[in-house]
Amino acid sequence: MSELYVPPQISGELGQATPKAAADRNFFARSRQAPSLSEIDGVSVETLASRFGSPLFVYSERDLRTKARRMRRAFQARYPKTSFAWSVKTNYLNAIIQLFRKEGWIAEVVSDFEYDKVRKLRIPGKEIIFNGPYKPAAALKRAISEGALVHVDNWDELSHLEELARDAKGPIQLGLRVWLDAGIRPVWSKFGFALANGEAERAAARVIGNPKFRLHTLHCHIGTYILAPGAYRVAAQKLVMLRERINAKHGHLVDCLNLGGGFPSHSLLHGMMGPAETAVPPIEDYAEAIANVLNELPVKKRPLLRLESGRCLVDEAGYLLTSVVAVKGINRPSIANSDLSGRDYKERIVLGEDSKVGYVLDAGINLLYTAAWYQFDVRPARQASTPAAPSRLYGPLCMAIDVVRENVDLPPLAAGDVLSLHPVGAYNFVQSMQFINYRPAIILLSEDGTPEVIRSRETLEDIDGPERLPAHLSVA
Ligand SMILES: Cc1ncc(COP(=O)(O)O)c(C=O)c1O
C-alpha cells in the first residue's frame, strides 16, 4: 500500500467539472453556486446567441473530430481490421455527414430519404450501408444497382430482393440483420432474423443458395445507450458462432461482422446520478470487449469488424443555446415573511408547484426530443454569485408537457439570460418538430473557432412552401 495519503479534493462544482472530486460521491449535496458556461471552444456563448439568434444549435467540430479519432484509435489499436459507418439518422446535417466522411467514415442509412441525402453528397453506393425494417421498393432497387450494401431485415424484403436480382447482373452483396439476446433488456426483436430459433441461419442459407447474392455481413444492433461493454462481448461471440456454423454448413466464411452502434454518450438518464464520466464506461472498454472475442480467431479467419455508431460520437458536440423569456413562480414563500411552519415550507420547496421558480425558455421539447429520457446539463452563460435554487425549465410551447427540466439547481435568472443545454447533438435536431415555432439556426464552430451557419433559421416559406390551397378555398 502506498505510504502517501492523498486528501480528497473537495469541489464546489458538484458533479459537473471535476469527476474525481470527493464531493461527487455525495449525490444529494448541493453546491452553493451552479456552474456556468460562458464559452464553447473559446467562443462566447452570449455573443453567439446575440449574433445568430436564440435559440441556436451549436456543434463543435473540435469535439466531433476528437471523438472520431479516439474511437478509431480505441478499436484499431486492438483490432486493426475495424471500419466505421456514420449512423445518418442520429444527425443527418450535411456538414456532420461530410465531417465524418472526411474522417474516413462511410454512411449507414435507414430510409430512402437518408439514402437520397447521402447520394446528393456524392457518397457512392459502395460506401453506403442500407439498414432498416422498411426500404421502399424504388430505394431498394436503386441501392442494389448502385452497389450499396443492403442489410436484409425480413423475409418479405428478401423475397423482394430475389425478384430484383433476377434482372440484375450480380453478385449483389448483402448483409443479414440478426437479433439476439446479449443480456440487455428489452431485447430489440423488432429488427432482423432471430438467432436463437435458427431463423438467421435459414435466411443465410437462402442468401447463399442464390447465385446472384453474396453474403457479406452479419449484422446486429443490440440497442442504444448501452452501459455494459460485456453485452458487446456476448453479441460478438454469438455472431462469431453463427458465422462458424454458416461456414461449416455452406463453406462460406462471411467477410464482415457489424456490431451496430449503441455506445453511450456522456448524458445521464433521468434519475441517474452523475457525473456522466463515472456513469458511462469509456469507449476503450467497448473496444476491448469486442476485440478480445475477435482476436481469439486465427488471424486468417478474422472478419472485418464494422461499427455504425451515432450518439457516442455526436451527442457531446451539440449544445442548444436558449434564452429566458419569462420568470414564473416568483411568489415563493420564504420562512421570514410567511407563517408557514418549517416543515410546511420544506414540503412546498421540495414538492410544491407554487414554490419552485420556473423559467420559460425560447426552446423546448419541440427541439429536444430526447428531453423525455435525458437530463441535460443546464448552465447559465453568466456566473452568478447568488446561491442556486431548485428551478423548473419550461419550453415555449402552448402545451403543459413542454418541460425541459423538472428540477435543476440554478441561480436566479431574468428574462434575457442565456443558458446552454448539453449534450444535445444526437437525435434532437433530426427529430425536432415544426410545431408552433420555427426551427432555429445551426452553427458549426470550426476548429479555429469560426462559427459557420450550417442550417439557417427556418422561414415561413420552408414550412408553407409545400402546401397547396384547393381552388374553392383560395385566397381572394
Ligand atoms: C441499425 C442501427 N445502427 C446504428 C444505430 C446508431 O445507434 P447509436 O446512436 O446508439 O450509436 C442505430 C440506432 O438505433 C441503429 O438502429
Residues 283 and 332 in one domain: no
Residues within 6 Å of ligand 1 by CB = 87, 90, 108, 131, 221, 224, 260-263, 308-312, 426
Within-domain flag for 166 = yes
Residue located nearest, by CA, to atom 5 of ligand 1: 261
Q: How far is the CA of 89 from the centre of ligand 1 (A)?
A: 8
Residues 299 and 362 in one domain: no
Residues 143 and 279 in one domain: yes
* Sequence-distant contacts of 244-250: CB under 8 A, at least 24 apart: 245/201, 246/201, 246/204, 246/205, 246/208, 246/215, 249/201, 249/205, 250/204, 250/205, 250/208
The bridge status of strand 357-361 relative to strand 318-328 is antiparallel
Range of the domain at 458: 32-57+317-463
Contact 453, 443 (CB under 8 A): yes
Count of helices and strands (H, E) across the chain: 13, 22
Nearest Cα residue to 355 out of 403, 411, 407, 400:
407
What is the CATH number for 334? 2.40.37.10
- What nine digits make up the cell of 135? 426500404
Domain boundary among 309, 333, 362: 309
Residues 114 and 228 in one domain: yes
Nearest Cα residue to 183 out of 226, 217, 218:
226
Query: What is the structure's pLDDT at 350?
Result: 56
Residue located nearest, by CA, to atom 10 of ligand 1: 262
Domain boundary among 309, 334, 367: 309
Nearest Cα residue to 134 out of 112, 167, 119, 149:
112
Within-domain flag for 208 = yes
Residues 253 and 393 in one domain: no
Which atom of ligand 1 is nearest the CA belonging to 308? 4
Residues 159 and 289 in one domain: yes
Best of 224, 427, 430 to mutate for ligand 1, by most ligand atoms within 8 A of CB? 224
Residue pLDDT, tens place only, 18-39 = 444 444 444 445 566 789 999 9
Which atom of ligand 1 is nearest the CA belonging to 177? 1
Residue located nearest, by CA, to atom 4 of ligand 1: 261
Residue pLDDT, tens place only, 228-241 = 999 999 999 999 99
Query: What is the structure's pLDDT at 32?
Result: 64
Domain count, the chain: 2
- What nine digits make up the cell of 88? 445518418
Query: What is the structure's pLDDT at 186?
Result: 92
Residues 337 and 230 in one domain: no
Query: What is the structure's pLDDT at 270?
Result: 92
What is the CATH number for 187? 3.20.20.10
Residues 248 and 99 in one domain: yes
Residues 115 and 223 in one domain: yes
Q: How far is the CA of 96 from the centre of ligand 1 (A)?
A: 16
Q: How far is the CA of 90 from the centre of ligand 1 (A)?
A: 7
Residue located nearest, by CA, to atom 16 of ligand 1: 221
Nearest Cα residue to 287 out of 305, 314, 267:
305
Could you give the CA distance from residue 392 to residue 302 in angstroms, rounded to a whole number? 52
Domain boundary among 309, 336, 369: 309
Residues of the chain predicted below pLDDT 50: 1, 11-28, 333, 335
Q: How far is the CA of 87 from the centre of ligand 1 (A)?
A: 6
Beta strands in 110-242 (DSSP E): 128-130, 149-152, 172-179, 193-194, 213-219
Residues 228 and 178 in one domain: yes
Within-domain flag for 21 = no
Query: What is the structure's pLDDT at 315?
Result: 98
